[in-house]
Amino acid sequence: MAKPLKVKIKGKVYGIDFLSLLFLCVCVLILFVGGYLITKGFMNMADKEEGEPVETVVSNDPDDLYNKDEFAIDRSQYQGTILERTENAGRTYVEETLFIGDTNVARFLRYQNTDNLAFTDIENTIGVVGLGIEDLEELACLDTTNGRLTIAQAITALQPKRILLNVGTYSLLKDKDEMLEAYRKSIKQFQEAYPSVDVIVNAVPPIGKKREYTNLTMQMVDAFNLGLADMCKQEGWYFLASYEDLKDDASGFAQEEFVEEDGIQLSERGLVALFEYIRMHAESSSDDRPTPLQNKPKVIGVPDGLIATNPLNGEAFEELPETVETPTPRPTPAQQQTTPYVAPAATPTPTPSATPTPTPEESVEPSIEPTETTDPTPTESTDPAPQETTPTEEASATPESTPEASEGGESTSPESGGENTGGSEEGQTEGGTVDPAQTEGGNTEPAPDAPEG
């Protein structure tokens, strides 16, 4: 066993064994290292206070940097422009409105509203897949009996009370100011085509946080909608802030269940929410359209494939909205032609007339004429034309009688050329019908004692 180490301190000798010496060395080492670390920490803090740059992790994802309040629209600054909440305007409001827009509007025809009818029908829907603001002015997109019409021509022909525009998503990647100016120019063209129309501009719907089109951001959507609100305020148009019911309050993005998998098109639930918002935020200006309205053309619909390439990714559209049966078009005061025209007069169904009998002994089945006429020419009939016969003097002397007489006692028939066969009460029985027995001279007065010939 090792001898203890002897240490003399102040005249006294102390004995220290090996373990005690080792423990003492460890304690000294700990004190030294701890003192160094504490000193280093104070030095770093001093450097930071002096402005030495601190390394931080910065996200490059725009969604992480999105501030939902950055482009918030202050309603108090747009009174009279932003449509306020109203009672449900109902189906009549929808029927008076022409809906114009992109894929979401085209899909209005696919889904039923709470009244078990499609949101809109082909007579008041111009929905073009992929429609952008730059297409509004010149694209011919509605087939009618008057040909394929541009949007301005369609507004003139259909004469709606108002138009509701829902475009912008497919133009978000273009210059914002240029698109807003193009939008303004197109709407003014629509008003020049039909000055009585009211204009509602719907907000671009929000996009989902999970989406295929990562080149689109909510900052783009919010900034564009703020520009739309400003445009409507300047021009006296209405702005529909439908994003209010489609956004998630916490994140500012579209509610997940309101968008399709691509993250930009509204799902069926999203469309229901949008359409409900439209009917609950109605404009109520007076109807100043000229009356009566001109005749309208029959609408055939929007043809498929008008815009083949998706403006957001440069690829061809893979799938177009399904063609669905829409409700029977509602009756309108005039719905056949756009330009004034003279409708062909309805031709009454001809009543077959009896063939004149050559002898007075044979009775003739009375013919019922739909209208009185003084035209001596017989009414055309679809029946085979009877063989022409030359009436004898005796037959011509026997005018054909009709079973009914007007109050004035006058009756005409084609065979008699409009002659009066019962011009007095003497030619009628008590029941107002002509006695079938006739005299040789054509006298219709009842004469029981008159000779048969």
Count up the domains in the chain and report the number. 2
Q: Which domain holds residue 110?
A: 66-301
- CA atoms of 191 and 288, how far apart (whole Å): 13
Q: Which two tokens stand for residue 48?
A: 């930071």
Q: Is the pLDDT of residue 110 over 50?
A: yes
Q: Give CA–CA dist 178/182, Å, rounded.
A: 6
pLDDT of residue 373: 45
Task: Check whether residue 36 and residue 151 sit in a common domain.
Answer: no
- Same-domain check for residues 124 and 246: yes
Confidence of residue 60 (pLDDT cuts 50, 70, 90): low
pLDDT of residue 101: 97
Percent of the chain with pLDDT over 70: 61
Same domain, yes or no, for 103 and 250? yes
| Same domain for 10 and 134 | no
Residue 448 belongs to a domain: no
* Average pLDDT score over residue span 352-373: 48
Farthest-apart Cα atoms in the chain, separation: 188
Q: Write down which residue in 301, 336, 368 finishes a domain.
A: 301
Q: Is the pLDDT of residue 277 over 80?
A: yes
Which of 301, 332, 354 is the last residue in one of the domains?
Answer: 301
Is residue 430 situated within a structural domain?
Answer: no
Mean pLDDT is lowest, of 21-35, 125-139, 281-295, 433-447, for: 433-447
Kindly tell me if the per-residue pLDDT of 367 is higher than 80: no
Check whether residue 70 and residue 138 sit in a common domain: yes
| Res. 161 pLDDT band, cuts 50 70 90 | very high
Question: 231 and 108, same structural domain?
Answer: yes
Split at pLDDT 50, 70, 90, the class of 333 is very low
Judged against a pLDDT cut of 70, whether residue 128 lies above it is answered with yes
pLDDT of residue 218: 96
The pLDDT, as a whole number, for residue 142 is 97
Q: Is the pLDDT of residue 425 over 90?
A: no
Decide if 385 is inside a domain: no
61 within domain boundaries:
no
Question: Is residue 392 scored above 70 in pLDDT?
Answer: no
pLDDT at 24: 76
**Range with lowest mean pLDDT among 77-81, 118-122, 151-155:** 118-122
Q: pLDDT confidence of 40, banded at 50, 70, 90?
A: confident
Asked if residue 368 has pLDDT above 70, the reply is no
The average pLDDT across 104-122 equals 85
Does residue 344 fall inside a structural domain? no
Residues 44 and 72 placed together within one structural domain of the fold = no
> Considering the domain boundaries, does residue 309 fall inside one?
no
Q: Are residues 107 and 240 in the same domain?
A: yes
Residue whose structure tokens are 């600054």:
77
Whole-number pLDDT of residue 3? 62
* The predicted structure's pLDDT at residue 84: 97
Query: Is 95 found in the same domain as 45?
Result: no
**pLDDT tier for residue 52 given thresholds of 50, 70 and 90:** low
More confident residue, 206 or 15: 206
Task: Assess if residue 278 is contained within a domain.
Answer: yes
Does residue 164 have a pLDDT over 70?
Answer: yes
Tell me, yes or no, whether 438 lies in a domain: no
Per-residue pLDDT, 335:
38
- Per-residue pLDDT averaged across 412-423, rounded? 41
pLDDT interval class at 59 (50, 70, 90): low
204, 90: one domain? yes
196, 71: one domain: yes
pLDDT above 80 for 185: yes
pLDDT given at position 32:
78
> For the domain that residue 270 is a member of, what is the CATH number?
3.40.50.1110
Q: Are residues 41 and 75 in the same domain?
A: no
Closest CA to 104 of 254, 220, 239: 254
At residue 71, the pLDDT reads 95
Q: Which residue has the higher pLDDT, 15 or 327?
A: 15
Give the residue from 249, 273, 301 where a domain finishes.
301
